[in-house]
């Protein structure tokens, strides 16, 4: 347990989600242990008495997430982002009024996380500290997308009605958050050159591209997936796997369906398989770049009957730059992205799934899809701030 706690403390810092020394992690094995001494441990220990959990993370986020979370949590008792991951896995994010075990417990009994304004985020894990890390990361991702999306929406509303413009507090929080954004990284890394001839080469290429995607912060927590097809076998990351920890977590799935390996493969296996079967692409990389996600959710049609269900069945042909935006949810159900993304990928280098993330494809290796992922994110970020400047 101590090793796992140390691992995820490091991952939080490496991902820019926490400052060094900020994460307070607890794990319950033979006994309850914390990674460091802190006055908050007494209150946090009570949470283990009220929930069937084995790990807990409490952390004041690093900037810009600190400013973002503090502002959003100051507005009410619940934050309701509309990105795909929040809709699918969290639904909403409760806000407690104070750092008090009974109130925190009440929130954690119905959700995986809770925010305490001005204090931080608490997330728990039932079987591993990894779950707490994933939830915490997802909360910060969702709040980032909502914060910058809401600011743009307020500017647009204020363009026709001055009373709708961002408040002074919102403007101050926005300015502070922007000052802490990661610098733009315009140059993609040089990855292994394909086409690959052996399974060993494929595994190495998947591992390299996955680590680069995490390093460039083009994906959060365990979301995102990656695949490569060779000799009618799709090598794809397993469901719940982290792109920076792929060795041992890649499934070789025959595209003729002759194996049940796909049962543990990514939840988007069917979508990857359709792209591999119906296009000339061998490499597929799926990330969750933040500005791409928030810009995919922007729509000028204000009186649409499908408002609120855009991510499921938007019928409009929309673009993110030159990349088509399609609806579709995780999995292979009736509204699954497996019915929309592969078709849109034909003749395109990438497809954006509304509020979810970008799928990019390459003919021989991951250099093209990675460069596409990075280029689209940088272009989306530039488009966002150009729109903000035009409306300000």
Q: Report residue 318's pLDDT band, with 50, 70 and 90 as the boundaries.
A: confident
Pairing of strands 120-125, 113-116: antiparallel
User: Has domain 199-391 been given CATH number 3.40.50.300?
Assistant: no
Q: CA-CA distance, 90 to 131, in Å (whole number)?
A: 13
pLDDT of 349? 92
Tell me the chain's radius of gyration from C-alpha atoms.
Answer: 21
* In the chain, where the domains are located: 2-151, 199-391
* Locus of tokens 């359709």: 274
Residue 355: predicted pLDDT: 87
Residue 339 has pLDDT above 90, yes or no: no
Among candidate residues 234, 226, 233, 229, the one with its CA nearest the CA of residue 206? 226
- C-alpha separations of 242 from 11, 176, 248, 264, 366 in Å: 11, 31, 11, 14, 17
Q: Is the pLDDT of residue 63 over 60?
A: yes
Tell whether the model's pLDDT for residue 262 goes beyond 60: no
Give the model confidence (pLDDT) of 196-207 as tens digits.
Answer: 999 999 999 999
H/E run at residue 71: helix 65-73
Residues with Cβ within 8 Å of residue 392, at least 6 apart in sequence: 155
User: Which CATH code for domain 2-151?
Assistant: 3.40.225.10
What does the pLDDT read at residue 356? 87
**What pLDDT, in 10s, does the model give residues 152-196?**
999 988 877 787 789 999 999 999 999 999 999 999 999 999 999
Band of the pLDDT at 310, cuts 50, 70, 90? low
**Secondary structure letter of residue 158 according to DSSP:** H
* Model confidence band, residue 260 (pLDDT cutoffs 50, 70, 90): low
Q: Where are the beta strands (DSSP E) in the chain?
A: 24-28, 32-34, 55-59, 78-79, 93-94, 113-116, 120-125, 225-230, 233-237, 250-254, 283-287, 318-320, 323-326, 350-353, 357-362
Q: How many CB atoms lie within 10 A of CB 106?
A: 14
């Amino acid at each position: 347990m101590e090793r796992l706690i140390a691992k995820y403390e490091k991952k939080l810092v490496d991902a820019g989600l926490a400052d060094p020394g900020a994460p307070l992690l607890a794990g319950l094995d033979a006994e309850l242990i914390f990674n460091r001494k802190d006055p908050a441990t007494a209150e946090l220990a009570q949470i283990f008495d009220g929930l069937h959990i084995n790990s807990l993370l409490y952390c004041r986020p690093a900037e810009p997430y600190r400013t973002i979370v503090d502002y959003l949590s100051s507005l009410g008792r619940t934050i309701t982002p509309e990105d795909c991951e929040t809709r699918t896995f969290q639904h909403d994010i409760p806000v407690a009024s104070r750092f008090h075990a009974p109130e925190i417990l009440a929130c954690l009994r119905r959700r995986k996380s809770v925010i305490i304004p001005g204090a931080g985020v608490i997330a728990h894990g039932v079987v591993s500290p990894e779950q707490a890390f994933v939830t915490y990361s997802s909360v910060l991702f969702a709040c980032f997308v909502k914060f910058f999306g809401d600011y743009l929406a307020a500017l647009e509303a204020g363009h026709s009605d001055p009373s709708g413009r961002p408040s002074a507090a919102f403007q101050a929080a926005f300015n502070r958050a922007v000052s802490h954004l990661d610098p733009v990284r315009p140059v993609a890394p040089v990855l292994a050159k394909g086409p690959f001839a052996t399974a060993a080469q494929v595994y190495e290429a998947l591992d390299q591209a996955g680590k680069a995607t995490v390093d460039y912060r083009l994906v959060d927590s365990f979301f995102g997936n990656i695949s490569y097809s060779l000799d009618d076998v799709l090598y794809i990351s397993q469901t719940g796997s982290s792109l920076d920890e792929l060795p041992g977590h890649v499934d070789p799935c025959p595209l003729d369906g002759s194996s049940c390996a796909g049962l543990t493969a990514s939840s988007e296996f069917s979508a990857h398989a359709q792209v591999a079967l119906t296009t000339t692409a061998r490499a597929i990389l799926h990330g969750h770049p933040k500005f791409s996600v928030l810009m995919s959710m922007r729509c000028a049609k204000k009186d649409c009957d499908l408002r609120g269900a855009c991510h499921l069945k938007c019928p409009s042909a929309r673009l993110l730059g030159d990349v088509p935006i399609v609806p579709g949810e995780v999995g292979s159900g009736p509204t699954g992205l497996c019915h929309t993304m592969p078709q849109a990928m034909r003749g395109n280098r990438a497809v954006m799934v509304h509020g979810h993330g970008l799928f990019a494809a390459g003919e021989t290796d991951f250099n093209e899809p990675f460069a596409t992922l990075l280029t689209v994110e940088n272009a989306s970020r530039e488009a966002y701030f150009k729109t903000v400047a035009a409306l300000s």
